[in-house]
Amino acid sequence: MPFALLRYGLGSSRTPRRELPATPELKPAYDVVIIGAGGHGLAAAYYLAREHGVTDIAVIDKGYLGGGNTARNTAIIRANYLTPEGVRFYGESLELFRGLSNEFGFNIMYSERGHLTLAHTDAAMRTARWRAEVNKHLGVNSEAVGRDEVKRLCPLLNLSDEARLPVLGALYHPPGAIARHDAVAWGYAIGAARRGVEIHQNTTVTGISMKGGKVAGVKTDRGEIACGSVLQAVAGSSTLIADMAGFRLPIRTVPLQACVSQPLKPILDPIVVSGSLHVYISQSGRGELVMGGSSDPYSLYATRSTLEFTESLTADLLELFPFLSTVKVMRQWAGMTDMTPDFSPVMGKTPVENLYIDAGWGTWGFKATPVCGKRMAETIATGKAPDILEPFRLSRFDDLSQVGERGAASVGH
């Protein structure tokens, strides 16, 4: 192996390798059309092709591959949720993520860092112990820790008693990790394309055609396609697609902003979250501090970012790491998140037969990319949602069976 590498390094010819085929012409029909070429849509295509032998698939996106929320999240992977349904689901995703670079033959820069959810109140410590117990019960590694352990894990954290909201302890989740979010989309895209899936970028869906309550096809600005099944996986635009098919969703589209600092030498090992202080932070492999906070205060179909966001985020951040006051914010951006009332996703069937939905991912979608792809593929291939997805059915709102994950899914409540 090392000699092969040496030969390659000393050689002079490098043939460029095209990993993704150019967008082909649209065929008149496909077995499955997936609307949305983000991480979730591409993962679904990948698992449909790899595990179920379904390859006659078109993945359609109005923009470029992975250019939506897949490009805009802060790339945190964890399974330390509150409900058994949530923990089981995100736990499966974590396990899938661990093996993904090997499976792709493509480096997604998966880096296990440990995840600390800081508790600043007795109520927060109680929730930390609750989450730890549920996690452990389902085989996910988490524990409630005190200040000494927090100091050991994150020496630079401000643990002063004179802070506005002193740190009492934390929920520590050792498997918490970060990865390169774009690479996850590319890995799934390349794997799907190799198996015959077509990816159609810059193609806008303009309508969904139906026949007798069943989906019959998809209309695009490049032509119409007949198809057996459709999966919509378009995050913040979910309502717009659902409107085309005539059903309602419990979703509000709200921007979530994030920012990165200038690159710094390594100072922060774990991912740190503070619910009370509306901020979460990690340090990327490039040395940038990746920072996020609460969702925007009102809904908007736009990805504009604001000064108010960076001001309030950094004010809270400096409570935790005061020495960061001289560091510069380098870049900020936003995604359009599809928020649900219970902070859990909407997955599975819709009132329209053969139209499937993967939505309601709000501010918690990146970590679920592999399990979503795998289980939605299973749903589409078998025509039935597996047990692990049942709690997230759209109809749960009709029978008031919400899966409440607000505390575990988000910050700033």
Partner 1 sequence: MKIMDCPLNGPRNISEFACRGEVKAMPDPDKCSDAEWADFLFMETNAAGVVREWWIHLPSSYWFIAERNTVTNEVVKTYPPDELFKRPPRPRPAT
Q: Which range binds partner 1 by CB under 8 A, 4-12, 144-152, 303-311, 362-370?
A: 303-311
Helix (H) or strand (E) holding 40: helix 39-52
Among 19, 121, 133, 240, binds partner 1 (CB under 8 A): 240
Instruction: Count CB neighbours of 168 within 10 A.
Output: 17
The answer to whether residue 410 forms part of the interface with partner 1 (CB under 8 A) is no
The answer to whether residue 27 forms part of the interface with partner 1 (CB under 8 A) is no
The answer to whether residue 304 forms part of the interface with partner 1 (CB under 8 A) is yes
Scanning residues 70 to 109, which ones bind partner 1 (CB under 8 A)? none
Shortest Cβ 341–partner 1 spacing (Å):
5
Let me know: does 173 contact 80? Beta carbons within 8 Å. Answer: yes
Q: Is 101 exposed, middle or buried (0-12, 13-18, 19+ CB in 10 A)?
A: middle
Shortest Cβ 360–partner 1 spacing (Å):
11
Q: From CA 160, how far away is CA 320, in angstroms rounded?
A: 9
Shortest Cβ 251–partner 1 spacing (Å):
6
Q: Give which of 412, 388, 338, 361 is closest to 83, Cα–Cα.
A: 388
C-alpha dist (Å) from residue 392 to 43, 66, 82, 361, 368: 18, 24, 15, 11, 13
The answer to whether residue 397 forms part of the interface with partner 1 (CB under 8 A) is yes
The answer to whether residue 250 forms part of the interface with partner 1 (CB under 8 A) is yes
C-alpha dist (Å) from residue 223 to 64, 126, 228: 18, 56, 17
Let me know: does 360 contact 248? Beta carbons within 8 Å. Answer: no
Q: From CA 132, how far away is CA 142, in angstroms rounded?
A: 5
- Select 199 or 251, whichever has its Cβ closest to partner 1: 251
Among 137, 214, 248, 331, binds partner 1 (CB under 8 A): 248
Query: What are the structure tokens assigned to 251, written together?
Result: 């979703």
- Select 140 or 249, whichever has its Cβ closest to partner 1: 249
Among 8, 24, 107, 301, binds partner 1 (CB under 8 A): 301
The answer to whether residue 252 forms part of the interface with partner 1 (CB under 8 A) is yes
How many residues sit in the footprint of partner 1 (CB under 8 A)?
22
Beta strands 111-112 and 346-349, pairing class = unpaired
Instruction: Give the contact letters, 338-367, x = binds to partner 1 (CB under 8 A), - = no.
Output: ---x--------------------------
The answer to whether residue 52 forms part of the interface with partner 1 (CB under 8 A) is no
Shortest Cβ 198–partner 1 spacing (Å):
28
Q: Using CB under 8 A, list all residues that contact partner 1.
A: 239-240, 248-253, 297-302, 304, 306, 308, 341, 397-400
